[in-house]
Amino acid sequence: MTHPILITGGTGFIGSHTVVALAEAGQPVVILDNLCNSSAKVLDRLARLNASPIEFVQADIRDSAALDTLFARYQFAGVIHFAGLKAVGESVAQPLRYLENNVSGTLNLLQAMDRANVRRIVFSSSATVYGDPVSVPIPETAALTATNPYGRTKLMCEDALRELHAADPRWRIAILRYFNPVGAHESGLLGEAPNGIPNNLMPYITQVALGQRAHLQIFGNDYDTPDGTGVRDYLHVSDLAAGHLAALRALNEPKLLTVNLGTGRGVSVQDMVDTFARVNGVPIPHQVVPRRPGDVAQCLADPRQAKALLNWETLLDLDRMCADAWRWQSMNPQGFDTPL
Ligand code: NAD
Ligand code: WQD
C-alpha cells in the first residue's frame, strides 16, 4: 500500500501508537483529529520517533466538507477510524453527545468514504459490546448488548458496518473489539494522558505511583474471581497497534472481519497492583471500596480468531505493560505538556 492511510483520532492514545506501527512498516499516514481529547504536542513526539504524518488535519469527523476536501486531496488506501468519545460515566450523563459524536460521526465518515470510493475501514470497537458475558473467554459469536450509552454507540456503529457490507459487498471492513489496552511506547515518548481523574485502572495506578493521587481504590473484592477483585484482559497498546496493521493487510479483498484483540489471559486488579509494584519497585497504596456500578466480574477474550484471520497475537507480557506505563508516566508527569 503506497497510498496513505487516513487515521481518524490519530493523536489519541491508541491512534498515536498505531501511527508509529504504520510508519515502521513504511506505510504513509494522514491524521485527522479535532483534539477534543488529545494534544497537538503528540505530533512532536511522533516526529522524534520518525513517524510524522504526511499531514495533520485538525477537523471533526462530523464535518462533511472537511472530509470531502481531504478525500479529494489524497487517494487513501483506507481508513483506520479511532475518533470517538470513550468515557463510560460521561456517556451516561451525556448520551446525546456520545450518540452524535460517535454514531453520527461514523456515519458521516462512511458517507464521505463512499463518495470518494474508499471502501476499506478498520473500526475501533470494544469488548463492551459483550456486556456482562455469560462465560469467558468470549468468542466473537457471543451475544451482543449495550449496558451504557458508550457501549450503545459501539454496537450501533458495528450494526451500521454490517448493514453496509450486506448492501454493498465491495466494502472491506474490520471490526476490532479491543479488550483493555494499557502500557505505552517503549521510548517513553507516547502514552495515555487522561484529562482529570482517570477512569481506568492503569492510568490511576501510574498517578498513584507518581504521588499525584494518594491511593488506588479497588472497586470490590467480593467478585466470583480467584482473589475477589475484577478480572480483565489487558494488552499492550503496541501489540494493539500492530493488530491494526495486520487488519489492514487482511483486508486485501472485500470482506467483513470481526475480531477480538486481547491476550486471553486474566489479570485481577490485585494482580495488577502487585505486578506494577514488583516490576517498578514502587508501592501502590490501595484500599478496597464497594463495587463500581456497571462493572462485570470477568472479561476475557477468546483470541483465536485474531490468530487465524489476522495472523496476530500479543507478544508483550504484563511485566512489560507495567514497566512501559511507568516509564511513560515518570518521564512525563504533566503528560504531553512535559517539555521534551
Ligand atoms: P483517545 O480519546 O485517546 O483517542 C480518540 C481520539 O479521537 C482523540 O484524539 C480525540 O481528540 C479524537 N476525537 C474524538 N471525537 C472526534 C471527532 N468528532 N472528530 C475528530 N476527532 C475526534 O482514545 P483511545 O483510547 O485512543 O481510543 C481510540 C478508540 O478506541 C475509540 O474509538 C475508543 O472508543 C476505542 N476503544 C478504546 C479502548 C480503551 O480502553 N482505550 C477500549 C476499546 C475501544
Ligand atoms: C479495570 C478493572 C475495575 C479503576 C473500561 C470500559 C470499556 C473499555 C475499557 C472502551 C475493573 C477496576 C478501575 C480504579 C479499580 N473502554 N478499577 N479502581 O471497566 O474493564 O473497561 O475501559 O471501550 O468499555 O468500560 O476498565 O480500567 O476502568 O477497570 O479497581 O480506580 O479495574 O473495577 O475491575 P473496564 P477499567
> What is the C-alpha to C-alpha distance for residues 26 and 210, in angstroms, rounded to an integer?
36
Does the beta carbon of 177 sit less than 6 angstroms from any atom of ligand 2? Answer: no
The catalytic residue among 74, 98, 130, 150 is 150
pLDDT for 42 equals: 98
| Phi, then psi, of 245 in degrees rounded to 5 | -65, -45
Does the annotation count 150 as an active-site position? Answer: yes
The cell for 318 is: 504484563
The answer to whether the complex's ipTM is over 0.90 is yes
Question: Which ligand does the CA of 129 lie closest to?
Answer: 2
Q: How far is the CA of 40 from the centre of ligand 1 (A)?
A: 15
Using the structure block, give the residue that is written with the C-alpha cell 491524521. 31
The cell for 89 is: 460515566
pLDDT for 117 equals: 98
pLDDT for 2 equals: 86
Task: Tell which atom from ligand 1 comes closest to the C-alpha of 86.
Answer: 34
At the fourth CATH level, the homologous superfamily of domain 5-182+234-263+301-314 is NAD(P)-binding Rossmann-like Domain (3.40.50.720)
Model-wide pTM > 0.95: yes
Q: Which of 124, 182, 185, 260 is the pocket-test mutation for ligand 1 (most atoms within 8 Å of CB)?
A: 124
| Ligand 2 atom 4, closest CA | 201
Q: Domain limits of the chain? A: 5-182+234-263+301-314
Q: How far is the CA of 19 from the centre of ligand 2 (A)?
A: 25
Does the beta carbon of 178 sit less than 6 angstroms from any atom of ligand 1? Answer: yes
> Measuring CA to CA, which residue among 176, 197, 186, 202 is closest to residue 84?
176
Q: Which of 201, 235, 267, 288 is the pocket-test mutation for ligand 2 (most atoms within 8 Å of CB)?
A: 201
Q: Which of 13, 81, 100, 336 is the pocket-test mutation for ligand 1 (most atoms within 8 Å of CB)?
A: 13
Peptide bond preceding 137 in cis form (omega within 30 of 0): yes
The cell for 222 is: 467480593
pLDDT for 1 equals: 61
Under 8 Å between Cβ of 237 and 182: yes
Beta carbons within 10 angstroms of residue 156's beta carbon: 16
| Ligand 2 atom 33, closest CA | 219
Per-residue pLDDT tens, the chain, 340 aa: give them: 689 999 999 999 999 999 999 999 999 999 999 999 999 999 999 999 999 999 999 999 999 999 999 999 999 999 999 999 999 999 999 999 999 999 999 999 999 999 999 999 999 999 999 999 999 999 999 999 999 999 999 999 999 999 999 999 999 999 999 999 999 999 999 999 999 999 999 999 999 999 999 999 999 999 999 999 999 999 999 999 999 999 999 999 999 999 999 999 999 999 999 999 999 999 999 999 999 999 999 999 999 999 999 999 999 999 999 999 999 999 999 999 999 9
Q: Label the pairing between strands 55-58 and 216-219.
A: unpaired
